[in-house]
Amino acid sequence: MLTNNKNVLAWVDEMVALTKPDKVVWIDGSDEQLSALREEAISTGELIRLNQEKLPGCVYHRTNPNDVARVEDRTFICSKKKEDAGPTNNWCDPEEMKAKLMPMYDGVMKGRTMYVIPYSMGPIGSPFAKVGVEVTDSIYVVLNMDIMTRMGKQAFENLGETSNDFVRGLHSKAQIDPENRYICHFPEENTIMSINSGYGGNVLLGKKCFALRIASYQGKNEGWMAEHMLILGVEKPNGEVKYVCAAFPSACGKTNLAMLIPPEVYTKQGYKVWCVGDDIAWLRIGPDGRLWAINPENGFFGVAPGTNEKSNPNALATVQKNTIFTNVALNNDDMTVWWEGLDKNPPENATEWTGNKVNGKEYSAQGGKLAHPNSRFTAPAVNCPCLSKEFNNPNGVPISAIVFGGRRAKTAPLVYQSFSWQHGTFVGSTMASETTAAAIGAVGVVRRDPMAMLPFCGYNMGDYFAHWLEMGKKLGDKAPKIFHVNWFRTDDKGHFIWPGFGDNMRVLDWIINRCEGTADAVETPIGYEPKPEDINISGLESEGVTVDVVKDLLSVDKELWKEETKGIHEFYAKFGDRLPKELNEELAALEARLAK
């Protein structure tokens, strides 16, 4: 036992009595303990040791093929009142859900070991940080939590003997039965229950379940925000660093933007980009009245496919050691890993993500993909060559700009700025994006995903929008400026027009100049846009990007936008009187500007 906290001890006792493990192991986080667990998992086949010369400390894991992504239709917010979960969440009465789950958890760990994982979201001792305790029957979960959080004894340091301020997380793989898979949140009880999955977002309970669903609810009550945002710093040639948060839906480019390497025209002048976080931001108003952000995580759970030397060299460097690879392909010749988009040489003697061995070129006959589209790496933040020196700063970093974005083939332009915080809240609340492989279900379907939080908001999103407006009022003229970007506009052949990745720096540059008041803008019905010639395209000639192309990327098709407002009306109608009236006013104002 690593703590004297009475509430932790009582809850763990209760979980032991419920799940009846053969053995209980408290995770202190020591190297000896973790290497023993790693060896145990290797001996049972749960993990496969990779080539220790090429990939020191790295291991490989495959989940059950029925268990490869978040399951939004089996994810529940169990608040006492249905209205408090709101129209965008699955809801179930907490007692009813427990009545369903308890028999499933009863004795589920018989013959297994229960691992008790204390962890901190946020640097230990930070005023932003929060403690969680996850009990699980999975070593894979323990080893991932070690990378993704500040895990072990240290997490209990500031909890004291009587505090009840920790998030309880109960996880069991059970039988990995998709029909009985549940990811349930009890925001009013600081509790998460996950069963029948072994996949990332469903089982690393510190991540989406706590740091977004539970924390968003805590943030509303305590006056701060938990957001699905990356945090990056742009260092200018004079050494000054400006921090930006960006919310894009799952698999829409957060990790890539957070680790961006600027194009040569910028590096020559001395610009650098530093990564503070790639997925989640906790934001508070600081003593100076500005908005400050920490990354509550300690590692990256990133999408593997598409990661390569050109698209994201920093991510590739990050995953060369002490990394867990999940559902990528295995090269059996040299025990290394491979995924689509890594290079043009798929291994011939490979095991694909499903566990099937494939030989030669046969793999393409088996659905064409060696790695699952949502295959991932879990890598320690300290590995990242561009990690910000503020990464562990307990007070976080001050935010100048908030950026929203998604995958839109046509409607949304490359970039625009909102007229105000209130208008920016409207822009975020009406975000839409094509769905990706990060969640089970159809891919490529446009859906509303406000602030990229649709699957992650732990309470009524109408109240969430009101909380955003409230935060804006508190921030006043110190509020970050709000922008919207879209890297994913396509031409008539369906190809992306904007080169993206490192070249997104060119858009960040305009954003930062707008925050500093040094860039011009033109007013359009949807917001302020750069003059096409104010996006620096020097060096992009070879990619065929001209001022005319930028002009095209910035065009606003009024007819498409009028269609868009219809969709927004429909979406807003779901919230009834929980929708803040300011947002309907913004919608009416947009319609009036479009009608002019």
Give the residue numbers marked as catalytic. Answer: 252
Which residues are within 8 A (CB) of 535 and not within 5 positions of it... i.e. 6 or more apart?
414, 415, 506, 507, 510, 550
Partner whose binding site includes residue 242, from ligand SPV, ligand GTP, Mn ion, none (CB under 5 to 8 Å by kind): none
8 A C-beta contact, residue 375 and residue 454:
no
CA distance 75 to 96: 15
Considering beta carbons, is residue 422 or 433 the nearer one to ligand SPV?
A: 433
Per-residue x/- track, 428-467, ligand GTP (CB under 6 A): ----------x-----------------------------
By beta-carbon proximity to ligand GTP, the closer residue of 227 and 279 is 279
Q: Which one of 130-138, 178-186, 251-259, 380-388 is the stretch in contact with ligand GTP (CB under 6 A)?
A: 251-259
The number of beta carbons lying within 10 Å of the beta carbon of residue 231 is 30
The answer to whether the CB of 397 falls within 8 A of the CB of 388 is yes
Q: Per-residue string for binding with ligand GTP, 525-554, x by CB under 6 A?
A: ------------------------------
Q: How far is the CB of 589 from ligand SPV (least distance, A)?
A: 32
Query: Is residue 250 part of the contact set for ligand SPV (CB under 6 A)?
Result: yes
Q: By C-alpha distance, which of 121, 114, 116 is closest to 148?
A: 121
Alpha helix (H) residue ranges in 342-493: 421-429, 461-475
| Site pattern 300..319 for ligand SPV (x: CB under 6 A) | -x------------------
Pair of tokens at residue 575: 């919230």
**3-state class of 234 per DSSP?**
strand
Site string for ligand SPV, 500-539 (x = CB under 6 A): ----------------------------------------
181 binds ligand SPV (CB under 6 A): no
Q: How far is the CB of 148 from ligand SPV (least distance, A)?
A: 9
Instruction: Residue count of the chain, please give it.
Output: 596
Of 461 and 526, which CB lies nearer to ligand SPV in the complex structure? 461
Identify the residue among 278, 279, 434, 509 touching Mn ion (CB under 5 A). 279
> Which residues ranging from 210 to 269 are in contact with Mn ion (CB under 5 A)?
250
- Asked if residue 580 lies in contact with residue 471, where contact means CB atoms within 8 angstroms, the answer is no
Map tokens 């065009």 to a residue.
555
Q: Are 280 and 206 in contact (CB under 8 A)?
A: no
227 binds, among ligand GTP, Mn ion, ligand SPV, none (CB under 5 to 8 A by kind): none
How many whole angstroms separate alpha carbon 458 and alpha carbon 228? 12
Find the shortest distance in angstroms from Cβ 329 to ligand GTP.
16
Query: 513: which 2 tokens?
Result: 């100049």
Smallest gap from Cβ 250 to Mn ion, in A, equals 5
- Token pair listed for 292: 């400050």
* 207 binding ligand SPV? (CB under 6 A): yes
Q: Report the nearest approach of Mn ion to the CB of residue 228 (Å).
A: 6
Q: Is 142 helix (H, G, I), strand (E, B) or coil?
A: helix
Nearest-angstrom CA–CA distance, 189 and 396:
28
Work out which of 118, 122, 187, 200 binds ligand SPV, going by CB under 6 A.
200
Strand 130-136 versus strand 376-380 pairing type: unpaired
Q: Work out which of 156, 282, 501, 571 binds ligand GTP, going by CB under 6 A.
A: 501
Cβ atoms of residues 258 and 278 within 8 Å: yes
208 binds, among Mn ion, ligand GTP, ligand SPV, none (CB under 5 to 8 A by kind): ligand SPV
The region of 4-12, 50-58, 199-207, 462-470 touching ligand SPV under the rule CB under 6 A is 199-207
Q: Does 279 bind ligand GTP (CB under 6 A)?
A: yes
Q: Which of residues 198, 233, 306, 532 is near ligand GTP by CB under 6 A?
A: 306
For residue 148, give the nearest of 173, 169, 184, 120 by alpha carbon. Answer: 120
Q: Please compute Rg for the chain using Cα positions.
A: 23
CB of 438 to Mn ion, least distance (A): 7
Strands (E), 353-485: 357-358, 376-380, 397-405, 415-417, 432-434, 446-448, 481-485
Nearest 5°: phi and psi at 243? -105, 140
Q: Which of 62, 74, 208, 407 binds ligand SPV (CB under 6 A)?
A: 208
**Cα separations in angstroms, 519 against 292, 367, 516, 525:** 24, 48, 8, 19
Q: Nearer to ligand SPV by C-beta: 3 or 63?
A: 63
Report the C-alpha dihedral over residues 85, 245, 230, 518, rounded to 10 degrees: 150
Say whether residue 70 binds ligand SPV (CB under 6 A): yes
Judged by beta carbon distances under 5 to 8 A according to partner kind, the member of ligand GTP, ligand SPV, Mn ion, none in contact with residue 68 is none
Question: What, of Mn ion, ligand GTP, ligand SPV, none, does residue 496 touch, CB below 5 to 8 Å by kind?
Answer: ligand GTP
3-state secondary structure of 344: coil
> What is the DSSP pairing of strand 415-417 with strand 281-285?
unpaired
Minimum CB separation from ligand SPV for residue 297, in Å?
10
Quote the least distance from Cβ 143 to ligand GTP, whole Å: 19
Q: What ranges make up the beta strands (E) of 328-396?
A: 329-331, 336-338, 350-351, 357-358, 376-380
Q: Is 438 in the site for ligand SPV (CB under 6 A)?
A: yes
Binding flag, residue 297, Mn ion (CB under 5 A) = no
Of the candidates 29, 118, 201, 480, which one interacts with ligand SPV according to CB under 6 A?
201
Q: Which residue is nearest to ligand SPV (CB)?
A: 201
- Distance, in Å, from the CA atom of 64 to the CA atom of 67, rounded to the nearest integer, reads 5
Helix pair angle (581-595, 558-573), 10° resolution: 160
Binding partner of residue 246 among Mn ion, ligand GTP, ligand SPV, none, CB cut-off 5 to 8 Å per kind: none
Chain residues in the site for Mn ion (CB under 5 A) = 250, 279
Chain residues in the site for ligand GTP (CB under 6 A) = 248, 250-256, 278-279, 302-303, 305-306, 311, 438, 487-488, 496, 500-501, 504
Chain residues in the site for ligand SPV (CB under 6 A) = 70, 200-201, 207-208, 250, 279, 301, 438
